[in-house]
Amino acid sequence: MRVYCDRCGTKAIIATSKKISIQVRHLYCSCTNPHCGHTFVAELTFSHTISPSSLDLPQAVQARLEGCGASRGQVQSLLGV
């Protein structure tokens, strides 16, 4: 993941991060341009799911899918995702 300084456009370094919630982290960043020296906090958030997790399926369904030997792609086709 690359972060850029919003003042000069130079690549920035993520020095550390702080977990705010399971879906949000604060990234503490510093610009690598020595003439700028900007330090800032960026926010990384979860947006949306593209492909649902198999872990969200009921245990009985998971067991049946694992037992049938289908690939992940085949399972997704069966589930319509």
Condensed to tens digits (0 to 9), the pLDDT of residues 62-73 reads: 777 777 776 766
Question: Given this model, what pLDDT does residue 2 score?
Answer: 95
29 burial type by CB count under 10 A (0-12 exposed, 13-18 middle, 19+ buried)? buried
Across residues 21-39, what is the average pLDDT? 98
- Domains of the chain, by residue range, sit at 3-45, 49-81
Q: Which residue has the higher pLDDT, 17 or 61?
A: 17
Tokens linked to 23: 């879906």
Q: Is the pLDDT of residue 51 over 90?
A: no
Q: Which residue has the higher pLDDT, 30 or 55?
A: 30
